[in-house]
């Protein structure tokens, strides 16, 4: 009889586990990249991020000190040092040949190909000795299998912000998205008020047109607008992309705001009219403050959309290094530094940090906007 | 810094200009047709006839210039040559139906159209049903909804990392290959594996869109009248029967809305394909193919023709939306 209201039963467990599985499935990919963005470059490439909390075994090659760093000790020439260069770790094996990089256990003394004697002890200290002076200019190469403690670092972020120019991209993105969010709101709010509360011929037709324009694919507008911008002398500039983003966001803005405003109580507006207020005053003093939730919903949408956009930025902004927005930079990095996951991970996280913050702070409005915005 | 001043100035000029426009035109209107004097009622009527257009004017200009005009200009460009100079009739379209890459894009777009909306809606419905019944439902919802805030490019980086490949013998750093190896399989370069790779790209979009479907469907589920559910339970329906026989039929309209909205997104998909495979290895789609002809091919005729095809695919949904909106307004 525990099934009587159809909720509390063994099913509760199944539901909880299924929901947990779904949540894990949806968050793990992001989490993996987040963890990787804090990992050491070499460790990312040699072990999965899920192993990042465990000691890392790696096989690396190391170059001993150059011949001119050798010192004489009782008839022997000696080059000594530590393969970890200060960082901790344990050497389990070493070798002198790339074909068998783990030939010898740590602590053994072996002959190298050049006839020197090499020993690498567990703590990473190595000692290369020779009866005759070392020759050449480069240090002797050998291989070590090491186990290092997991290391986490914020270096990747510093690196991409400065060396990879992501700091500049961040500013560019901000420069694109803020005006492109603010401008359409105002334009749309007036239009939405007219469509919701003013009587004029053709109103129904205009509303239908706005609904229709909601789905016009961006691709269609690219070439004509690019030509238009070039002819008008705007070219590839911020002004152009602001206008483009504003116009592309307008149908949704008008649609959202009109629906919201049309739902406001008629009495307020009519009593204001009776008191002699003009539509302009009604709009500014009554409608605009009351429409705040809808304005916020749209603002979040438009901000996320302009911040995350790639296509419009690629076409309407130039593609030189200091004109790129962050999504454009990410795209370039994926092409040119496809294997450097520490760079990609850190860059991706810088670019999605702001939208995620906005998302978590304003989720309520985002949900509200979605519910109002999907055409019913 | 300079850039910021530029942006700030634009906001001030743009917003200030807009406000100024609305203020001035409205003031002017009140001057020309004052709501006083001998012709007061005629003046008020005239002012009321003009004012809506003052409110609408900036929006109409932007919409016409940036959305309506390009529609017609694209049609014109699609019957012109690569530079838009000479009339070439339907030859861009004729080229299209014989171009293997275009046919591949069409095939992939149809695959995307079948798979992505269906699975996103399915997972969205599943997530909505599950999260509405658990105590930590809001947290779970936020986590599944989160990818909505991530850019397509960011999502591509995240998933490309999941699909990463290391040769056999090395430690796999991509989750997918690590799982495959754990079950005794051999690692694959997934993104170059034809057909499979298209589905792996679809996974990214499904991952993003499920949250959207979940939010809308969860609201719809909660809007179902309690009585219908209670009556079914009293009649001995099992929880699954309640869900599929009572709840789902009642939110069918919403499911359709979610489905069409995701369909539109799918038709425009571009970023994911560009950044993950750039249409290689049989993954091309219309959105990216159009961009390819625009930027790499420098052929506005062919690019426009492809854009028109995308528009044609969207049109049925557009008409359906308009009809529904008009029905609702009555």
Residue by residue, pLDDT tens for chain B (330 residues) are: 666 776 677 778 877 887 888 888 888 888 888 777 777 788 778 877 888 888 888 899 999 988 889 988 888 888 888 787 878 878 888 888 888 889 999 999 999 999 999 999 999 999 988 888 888 888 888 888 889 889 899 999 899 888 888 877 777 888 888 888 888 878 888 888 888 888 999 999 999 999 888 988 888 888 888 888 888 888 888 888 888 888 888 888 888 888 888 888 888 888 898 888 888 888 888 888 988 888 888 888 888 999 999 898 888 888 888 888 888 776
The mean pLDDT of chain A is 81
Q: What is the pLDDT of residue B120?
A: 93
Contact, B92 vs A221, CB < 8 A? no
pLDDT at A374: 60
Mean pLDDT along residues A301-326: 86
Is pLDDT above 50 for A6? no
- Per-residue pLDDT at B42: 80
Angle between helices B196-222 and B252-267 (to 10 degrees): 150
Q: Do A224 and B73 touch (CB under 8 A)?
A: yes
pLDDT of A373: 64
Shortest distance between the Cα of A225 and any Cα of chain B, in A, equals 7
Burial of A13 (0-12, 13-18, 19+ CB in 10 A): exposed
Per mean pLDDT, which of A64-78, A189-203, B24-38, B176-190 is the most reliable? A189-203
CA dihedral A350, A352, A353, A357 (to 10 degrees): 170
- pLDDT at A259 exceeding the cut of 80: yes
Out of A175, A210, A215, the one facing B314 most closely (by C-beta) is: A215
Q: Does B182 touch chain A (CB under 8 A)?
A: no
Nearest CA in chain A to B238: A6
Are A238 and B6 a contacting pair at CB < 8 A? Answer: yes
**Averaged pLDDT for residues A316-326:** 81
> Do B74 and A223 lie within an 8 Å CB cutoff?
yes
Q: Contacts of residue B212 in chain A, CB cutoff 8 Å? A: 370
* CA atoms of A363 and A348, how far apart (whole Å): 21
Q: Does A200 sit within 8 Å of B49, measured CB to CB?
A: yes
A289's tokens: 């403050």
Q: Which of A66-70, A200-204, B314-318 has the weakest average pLDDT?
A: A66-70
Q: Which stretch of A4-13, A308-317, B158-167 has the lowest confidence by average pLDDT?
A: A4-13
What is the pLDDT, as a whole number, of residue B172? 80
CB-CB contact of A217 with B267 (8 Å): yes
Q: Do A191 and B56 touch (CB under 8 A)?
A: yes
Instruction: Report chain A residues whose CB lies below 8 A from the CB of B4.
Output: 171, 175
A93, A209, B156, B256, B297 from A368: Cα distances, Å:
61, 24, 27, 19, 42
User: In this predicted structure, what is the pLDDT of residue A8?
Assistant: 55
- The pLDDT score that the predictor gives to residue A375 is 47
> CB A242 to CB B6 under 8 A?
no
**What are the chain B neighbours of A370 within 8 Å (beta carbons)?**
212, 215-216
- Write the ipTM: 0.85
Range among A152-161, A260-269, B39-48, B116-125 with highest mean pLDDT value = B116-125
Instruction: Report CB contact under 8 Å: A348, B157.
Output: yes
Cα angle B292, A332, B307; round to 5: 20
Sketch out chain A's domains with CATH numbers: 11-52 (no CATH), 56-148 (no CATH), 159-373 (1.10.3720.10)
At residue A86, the pLDDT reads 63
H/E segment holding residue B63: helix B40-63
Residues of chain A above pLDDT 90, percent: 3
Sequence-separated (6 or more) residues with CB below 8 Å from residue B248: B125, B255
Q: Which of B252, B163, B164 is nearest to B202 (CA)?
A: B163
Closest by Cβ to A308, choosing from B143, B151, B306: B151
- Per-residue pLDDT band for A3 (boundaries 50, 70, 90) equals very low
Distance CA A282, CA A286 (A): 5
Cβ atoms B148, A363 nearer than 8 A: no
B268 contact A CB<8A: yes
Distance between CA A38 and CA A40 in Å, rounded?
7
Partners of A178 on chain B (C-beta within 8 Å) are 7, 11
- Residue of chain B with shortest Cα separation from A209: B322
> Does residue A132 carry a pLDDT above 50?
yes
């Amino acid at each position: 009889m525990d099934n009587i209201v159809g909720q509390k039963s063994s099913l509760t467990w199944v539901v909880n586990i299924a929901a947990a599985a779904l949540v894990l499935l949806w968050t793990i990919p992001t989490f993996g990249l987040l963890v990787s963005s804090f990992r050491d470059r070499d460790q990312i490439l040699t072990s999965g991020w899920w192993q990042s909390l465990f000691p890392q075994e790696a096989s690396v090659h190391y170059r001993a000190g150059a011949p001119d760093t050798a010192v004489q000790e009782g008839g022997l020439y000696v080059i000594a040092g530590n393969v970890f260069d200060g960082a901790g770790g344990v050497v389990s094996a070493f070798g002198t040949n790339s074909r068998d990089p783990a030939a010898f256990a740590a602590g053994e003394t072996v002959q190298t190909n050049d006839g020197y004697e090499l020993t690498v002890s567990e703590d990473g200290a190595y000692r290369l000795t020779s009866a005759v002076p070392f020759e050449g200019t480069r240090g002797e190469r050998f291989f070590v299998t090491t186990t290092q403690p997991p290391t986490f670092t914020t270096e990747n972020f510093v690196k991409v912000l400065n060396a990879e120019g992501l700091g500049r991209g961040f500013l560019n993105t901000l420069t694109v998205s803020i005006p492109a969010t603010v401008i359409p709101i105002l334009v749309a709010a007036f239009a939405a008020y007219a469509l919701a509360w003013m009587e004029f011929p053709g109103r129904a037709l205009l509303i239908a047109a706005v609904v229709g324009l909601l789905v016009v694919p961006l691709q269609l507008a690219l070439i004509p607008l690019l030509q238009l911008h070039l002819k008008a002398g705007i070219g590839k500039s911020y002004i152009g992309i602001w206008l483009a983003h504003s116009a592309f966001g307008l149908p949704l803005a008008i649609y959202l705001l009109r629906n919201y405003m049309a739902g406001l109580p008629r009495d307020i507006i009519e009593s204001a009219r009776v008191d002699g207020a003009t539509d302009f005053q009604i709009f500014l003093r009554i409608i605009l403050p009351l429409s705040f939730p809808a304005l916020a919903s749209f603002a979040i949408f438009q901000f996320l959309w302009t911040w995350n956009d790639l296509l419009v930025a690629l076409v309407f902004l130039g593609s030189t290094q200091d004109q790129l927005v962050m999504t454009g930079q990410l795209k370039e990095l994926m092409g040119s530094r496809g294997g450097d996951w520490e760079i990609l991970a850190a860059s991706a996280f810088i670019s999605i940090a702001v939208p995620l913050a906005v998302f978590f702070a304003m989720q309520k409005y985002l949900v509200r906007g979605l519910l109002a915005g999907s055409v019913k | 810094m300079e850039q910021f001043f530029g942006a700030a100035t634009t906001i001030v000029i743009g917003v200030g200009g807009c406000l100024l426009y609305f203020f001035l035109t409205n003031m002017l209107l009140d001057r020309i047709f004052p709501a006083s004097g001998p012709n007061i009622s005629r003046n008020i009527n005239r002012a009321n006839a003009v004012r809506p257009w003052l409110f609408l004017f900036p929006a109409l200009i932007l919409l016409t210039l940036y959305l309506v005009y390009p529609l017609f200009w694209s049609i014109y460009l699609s019957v012109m040559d690569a530079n838009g100079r000479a009339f070439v009739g339907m030859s861009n379209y004729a080229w299209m139906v014989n171009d293997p890459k275009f046919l591949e894009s069409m095939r992939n777009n149809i695959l995307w159209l079948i798979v992505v909306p269906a699975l996103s809606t399915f997972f969205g419905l599943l997530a909505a049903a599950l999260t509405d019944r658990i105590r930590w439902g809001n947290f779970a919802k936020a986590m599944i909804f989160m990818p909505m805030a991530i850019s397509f490019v960011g999502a591509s980086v995240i998933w490309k990392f999941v699909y990463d490949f290391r040769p056999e013998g090395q430690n796999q750093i991509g989750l997918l290959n690590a799982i495959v190896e754990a079950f005794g399989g051999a690692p694959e370069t997934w993104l170059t594996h034809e057909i499979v790779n298209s589905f792996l790209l679809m996974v990214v979009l499904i991952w993003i869109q499920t949250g959207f479907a979940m939010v809308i469907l969860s609201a719809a589920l909660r809007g179902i009248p309690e009585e219908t559910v209670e009556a079914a339970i009293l009649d001995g329906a099992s929880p699954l029967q309640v869900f599929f026989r009572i709840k789902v039929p009642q939110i069918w309209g919403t499911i359709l809305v979610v489905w069409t909205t995701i369909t539109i997104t799918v038709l425009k998909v571009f970023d994911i394909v560009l950044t993950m495979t750039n249409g290689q290895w049989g993954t091309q789609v219309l959105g990216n193919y159009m961009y390819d002809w625009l930027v790499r091919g420098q052929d506005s005729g062919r690019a426009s023709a492809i854009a028109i095809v995308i528009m044609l695919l969207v049109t049925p949904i557009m008409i359906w939306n308009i009809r529904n909106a008009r029905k609702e307004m009555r």
